[in-house]
Chain A
Amino acid sequence: MNAQTAIGQPNAIAMVFFFVFIAITLGITYWAARRTRTTEHFYAAGRTVSPGQNGFALAGDYMSAASFLGIAGLVSTTGFDGLIYSTGWLVGWPVVLFLIAEPLRNLGKYTFADVVALRLRQVPVRIAAAIGTLATVTFYLIAQMVGAGGLIKLMFGLSYETAIIIVGAAMIAYVLFGGMLATTWVQIVKAVLLLSGAFLLALLVLAKFGFSPVALFNAAAVRFGSGVLAPGKLVANPLDAVSLGMALMFGTAGLPHILMRFYTVPDARAARTSVFYATGLIGFFYLLTFVLGFGAMVLVTPDAIKAVDKGGNMAAPLLAEFIGGTAFLGFIAAVAFATILAVVAGLALAGASALSHDLWVNVVKGGHASGHEELKVARAATVVLGVAAVLLGITFKGQNVAFMVSLAFAIAASGNFPALLMAIFWRRFSTAGAVASMLTGTLGTLLLIWLSPTIQVDVLHRAGAWFPLKNPALVTIPLAFLVGIVVSLLTATEGSIERDAHHERQMHLGTTA
């Protein structure tokens, strides 16, 4: 079957779809650029995004190529095991809703560091939060760039470097000129395309099985054994399963590019409603990827999928080709490319805001910088990040970077989330506690990932690893909480009745109250 696939050859239809997407999104950017004059526009789209729009934009930011191609691929080659990722990536959203979204919107301005630093000394907290943000964004960005290069090479026949440069250039254009408003609409367009593409493909697959997912799963079980419907080898060690689950669940609540989206809506109520929509859309999407994965398993077969790409990432495109020929393959390929573009734009904006808002304005300039200056620095930071992303993408060409997405989630879950949660809910939390918690979470995650089988065995091909877990979240999340609590209790309280009462009012009533 794979002898007939058009994957890996220049695909005219994919090119056409893709250039239409680029044209539309650049048109949006031109429109947004004329409305992006202040920092509030650049970072937060003027706080005019509606809850429904933000729901789609959150979903767009979150549904990366890793989840679309990766989960479909994982399901197509292992069956049930893909569900561990789908469920883990979704259950973070209710946590964001219950604990983070509304207080974040009321307490902060542009970045999550605003909230952590609110009651504390600005300089040390901002530096520690920027380290966590930039570490999360960088690893996420490398994974997306390397994935993009390989993917585009496979689907469009372009060279890896060309693909990386196109992605980097489009990303810089969106963010530099259109800021958060353009980025938001790029996410919305991409989310609609991705959801409708995946829905159409799933519908066409299910049509072959009498519109019954169970009949589809049964066809897979009959052909490949009932093992595909049960947990397999992916998570061999129980502690690994729990640790991965913790990173997925709490990582979402610490992703800077996701948290930043809550500042684009008018108030906390809109932030709440937007998470509700996002949870619905993302859950629906993960159900679709599960159907697509099993569809690819039955119709394309795992051997044919692995023959094209060892990791199985081409399962969904191959399925599209099987169902709808080169035209549908072209459409799905273009959607996957658009997905990567949109996600990297969101990441670049989050990274730029950490560099300009947290580091330049609040650390270098001690909080005294004009809006005009901050906007200039934010735009310069966007270009720096865009160029860095292209260079990193080229540097890591051909490297195994699959672990970098889960590394980004582990850093977000251990470095960013515990400090953010304690800053919101615990009035005894101190500057030293916040800094210690964020640095322990971020650096501890990096250290333990380095010592884990993920790097030592999978990347460096050593015989064993000093640290047994593939994902360190089981250790680093509790450690970040513990360090934050102990250090806070050991240092003098910075609170006062007046300050805490003000914090509580602002958390519930917002700054306008």
Chain B
Amino acid sequence: MTQPTAVSPEPLRALARARTRIAIQLTIIMIVVYFGFIMLIAFDKEFLGRIIVPGLSVGILLGALVIVASWVLTWIYVRWANAHYDSAIDALGRESRGAPR
């Protein structure tokens, strides 16, 4: 069992906070999008049944957009994590593996 010793806790804590903040924000957006859709199904069936062009109702369009929203949100997170989180983690990881300090 490797017992990491004294990684400077402050930068890690700041990074952890940043990741948690992004994760929670994106989760809330997903919840709002999906439960917004569910609430419309529950409370405004008439609106979802409205026809935009023959064959396409508001409900089907919004349902497809919920799927697209899932894709976009995962893409945003992965992009953020690849660009910012990983490099910061790498730097901290190097430090904790006992690089000269």
Residues in A408-438 with C-beta less than 8 Å from chain B: 425
Residues in A44-96 with C-beta less than 8 Å from chain B: 80, 83-84, 86-88, 90-91, 93-95
Which residues in B have their C-beta under 8 angstroms from that of A280? 71, 74
Q: Does B54 contact A (CB under 8 A)?
A: yes
Question: How many angstroms between the C-alpha atoms of A279 and B26 in the bound complex?
Answer: 15
Q: Does A450 contact B (CB under 8 A)?
A: no
Q: Does A513 contact B (CB under 8 A)?
A: yes
B27 touches A99 (CB 8 A): yes
Q: Does A161 contact B (CB under 8 A)?
A: no
Minimum CB–CB distance from A70 to chain B (whole Å) comes to 17
Task: Name which of A133-141, A152-160, A215-223, A349-357 contacts chain B.
Answer: A215-223
Minimum CB–CB distance from B46 to chain A (whole Å) comes to 8
Contact of A505 (CB < 8 Å), options: B12, B42, B49 = B12
Contact of A509 (CB < 8 Å), options: B37, B81, B92 = B92
Question: How many angstroms between the C-alpha atoms of A269 and B82 in the bound complex?
Answer: 8
Q: Count of B residues near A, CB < 8 Å?
A: 60
Which residues in A have their C-beta under 8 angstroms from that of B31? 249
A98 touches B60 (CB 8 A): no
Question: How many angstroms between the C-alpha atoms of A276 and B27 in the bound complex?
Answer: 15
A218 touches B55 (CB 8 A): yes
Query: What residue in chain A is nearest B42 (Cβ atoms)?
Result: A238
Which residues in A have their C-beta under 8 angstroms from that of B66? 87, 90-91
Query: What residue in chain B is nearest A232 (Cβ atoms)?
Result: B45
Q: Does B83 contact A (CB under 8 A)?
A: no
Which residues in B have their C-beta under 8 angstroms from that of A217? 55-57, 60
A94 touches B26 (CB 8 A): yes
A98, A269, A279: which has the most chain B beta carbons within 10 Å? A98
Which residues in B have their C-beta under 8 angstroms from that of A505? 4, 7, 12, 96
Which residues in A have their C-beta under 8 angstroms from that of B2? 511-513
Q: A-contacting residues of B (Cβ < 8 Å)?
A: 1-4, 7, 9, 12-13, 15-16, 19-20, 22-24, 26-27, 30-31, 33-35, 37-39, 41-43, 45-46, 48-49, 51, 53-57, 59-60, 63-64, 66-68, 70-71, 73-75, 77-78, 81-82, 86, 89, 92-93, 96-97
16 contacts between A and B (CB under 8 A): A87-B63, A90-B70, A97-B77, A98-B23, A98-B27, A99-B27, A218-B55, A230-B46, A230-B59, A238-B43, A239-B42, A242-B39, A287-B64, A506-B4, A508-B89, A508-B92
